Amino acid sequence: MKRLTQDEIRIFLDNSKGWNLKDNKLEKVFLFKDFREAVQFINRIQPIADAMNHHPDICIYYNKVIIQLTTHDVGGITDLDVELAKKIDEIK
């Protein structure tokens, strides 16, 4: 795993689908029709995160899901965070 530079993070953000940098974490807000759809989305993330052994911080507010990605072991954003962000975008 490689900790990303600020330039590498900026390149990802510039080319991403709505990801932002907040408190040294990648963050994205997803909106759904209702609570059920929000939970189903989270349930689709779980096997991907388990397979990567890299798990996002997730907050759910009825139909709004906030995903935050950072690698706690290195205290910053790594290539694993970017890879997981891209995989999450694929299932939305």
Q: For residue range 65-81, what is the model confidence (pLDDT) as tens digits?
A: 999 999 999 999 999 99
Domains, the chain, ordered by start: 6-91 (3.30.1360.20)
pLDDT confidence of residue 1: 85
Q: For residue range 5-56, what is the model confidence (pLDDT) as tens digits?
A: 999 999 999 999 899 999 999 999 999 999 999 999 999 999 999 999 999 9
Sign for the pseudo-dihedral over CA of 81, 69, 41, 31: negative
Cα–Cα nearest to 82, from 25, 42, 40, 41: 25
Give the whole-angstrom CA distance, residue 75 versus residue 72.
5
Confidence of residue 83 (pLDDT cuts 50, 70, 90): very high
